[in-house]
Structure 1
């Protein structure tokens, strides 16, 4: 329908009088409202009309009979909309955010165990294969880091390096190949590897290696199946979007974990502006660790930078943000021999004071939230 702009403005006209100007031409149907046509001539063929007065110009359009079927359809639509609205009122969507290695995927796995959502046989098999990959891949990470640390593997264990470098992925149902048992065990106990592992914060080495290497005999059992703790300890980088749904009393909780490089976050973060809450994870043990993707950056500083940007984000002005200080167990282990003051000079607590260290990082995050005019933050760590 094309309306000539020359006739779009004028004084008030009514269809009970002669229409003195052409109002509109429908080029598709060929029907033309011509000059000097009376309203009764134009509208006489319609049983009912609806008149709408817009900006002083009155238009008429044909009316339609409302059938019983139309009424039934309308009522059904209203009922479905009401049900959908009621369901939405019980749905909670939580977006997981945090810096690298903050434990977002681990929280999802722990939630599944808490709420008794079993892992499927396919998932268990995937974690079994991933355990072997964590062993070989983690050891390769240490070997790579040793070059930057100017450390070497002892002469008697050099022959095992090629074995680890050539490690492959397991096939479905394939036990851990026994030819890897001796090389893995020998290298893990190598003095050079041990020194590099103690300096793991300099290279963002996988934190689960100590757990798996302390139990190699069990893992290499031909009948080995991952335990719940094995599954929690498994590490794999999240790619894409992963949603997990939990039923909590009368509510449906959907937790969303989004993978990808931090440099890309600004391109997709607005897609989640409708979430109920953001669960922001920060690794307490990351205070002395670098990032996997940037050896010159500090994990905790990176977490604070992301936290600050989320608190100030235009997309989440009305979204509650929950701070979760994670990996308290690892924090307690390392703090006696890794002084917080070395990485955060304004820390005034004693070396090894776990509570003082934890409270310090709480205050740092809280100050950033207050700057963004977020005065109510919920802080949690898994040690209290």
Structure 2
């Protein structure tokens, strides 16, 4: 049976189905509220080329959140553009470096630059065009191209070229599907907000949800929207350790490490994150350890005095970030520092287990005001 609610000139009949629907809605709202209360929310931040998206992809592998067939296909298409646009970036940088490819490679250079300018891509299921394989192989072997790649810090040349180009035959083979490592190394600019949920163990060993939020783009507008994330449990901030001598994509005159420090300073000393724990990843340590022997930190940070010792270099940058985090007198701020190589799944798994062990769900956190 149903019930009747009467008002002047109008009768509303409430059926048993309506009551059941209302109860079901209330139940779902309670469950959603409880899930949000027990959810750990982590905000991924860092300057361009810091490795944020790589960490997020590693988290999917670590927590068995597989890439869908459609995602794999999307990465396959992106990798082709990584090849053409990456080589195109090298060829454009060579102009400023006053370097020229060999005469035999000039036609190949024109083909790749045209592909980049026209945004040449491939459709779903379409094999990589074979007419690009030989030109890319020959350009990669070109002596002046290798000189330009070695000077990549001057022009924000993608670091994944050294991973993909030695495997061109594999990538252009019929039926090619990206491996997990291919996906890890694939570069795609993050735009908008990307949220991914993982099942993890909290400090008490109970299963909880970890929501990782990757915010990309709109660097200049950050101050207008950053307050929307004031309820996060933790900020995971990534820095490219090897970026101390590199420019940023948007501005060839700006230093990547200085840019990271500026963003870090604004986040750590923001009114919105006074009580928020921050995890600092000094990332791309593998590249840093190779680079420090050939690129003097003192050319970019005059106060550095550690010669070419990687340990001293890491300690120097760690202190710089630590001092900025406590610049406004917040001595009790929690900052956890980890030295990482985001492309190394095993190493990231160990580090992320340590990070997850420090996190608590939002219901366990106390915020002022």
Task: Please indicate, yes or no, whether the TM-score normalized by the shorter chain is above 0.5.
Answer: yes
- Alignment partner, residue 38 of structure 1: none
CA distance in 2 between counterparts of 1:265 and 1:78 reads: 36
Q: Secondary structure at the match of 1:158?
A: helix
- Indicate the structure whose relative CO is greater, using CA pairs within 8 Å and at least 6 residues apart: 2
User: Deviation at 1:116?
Assistant: 1.0
> Unaligned regions of 5+ residues in structure 2, if any?
1-15, 202-206, 342-346, 348-369
Note if 1:381 corresponds to 2:339.
Answer: yes
Note if 1:279 corresponds to 2:279.
Answer: no
Aligned partner (choices 370, 375, 379) of residue 326 of structure 2 = 370
CA distance in 2 between counterparts of 1:298 and 1:124 reads: 34
Larger Rg: 1
Where in structure 2 are the equivalents of 1:1-384 lying within 5 Å?
83-167=31-115, 168-249=120-201, 250-351=207-308, 353-372=309-328, 373-375=330-332, 376-382=334-340
- Alignment partner, residue 356 of structure 2: none
Which segment is superposed worse, 362-371 or 75-84?
75-84
Do the aligned residues in 2 keep the contact of 1:275 with 1:319 (CA within 8 Å)?
yes
CA spacing shift, 1:123–1:85, aligned 2, 3 Å? closer
CA spacing shift, 1:74–1:380, aligned 2, 3 Å? same
CA distance in 1 between counterparts of 2:27 and 2:113 reads: 62
User: Deviation at 1:166?
Assistant: 3.1
Which segment is superposed worse, 318-327 or 135-144?
318-327
Q: Secondary structure at the match of 1:323?
A: strand
Deviations 1:112-138 (A, max 9, x none): 011111100000001111111100000
CA distance in 1 between counterparts of 2:135 and 2:21 reads: 71
Taking only aligned residues, the RMSD between alpha carbons, in angstroms, comes to 2.3
> Unaligned regions of 5+ residues in structure 1, if any?
1-68
User: Deviation at 1:341?
Assistant: 1.5
TM-score, scaled relative to structure 1: 0.78
User: Deviation at 1:261?
Assistant: 3.0
Deviations 1:130-179 (A, max 9, x none): 11110000011011111111111111110112221233201111111111
Query: 1 or 2, which has the higher helix percentage?
Result: 2
Q: Secondary structure at the match of 2:252?
A: coil
Deviations 1:344-381 (A, max 9, x none): 11111121x11111111111100111213153310011
User: Deviation at 1:74?
Assistant: 10
Q: Secondary structure at the match of 1:134?
A: helix
Which segment is superposed worse, 109-118 or 342-351?
342-351
CA distance in 2 between counterparts of 1:214 and 1:200 reads: 17
Runs of 4+ in structure 1 over 4 Å off: 71-85
Say how many residue pairs are matched: 316
Deviations 1:315-348 (A, max 9, x none): 1122211111111111112111111122111111
CA distance in 1 between counterparts of 2:175 and 2:23 reads: 59
CA distance in 1 between counterparts of 2:77 and 2:30 reads: 47
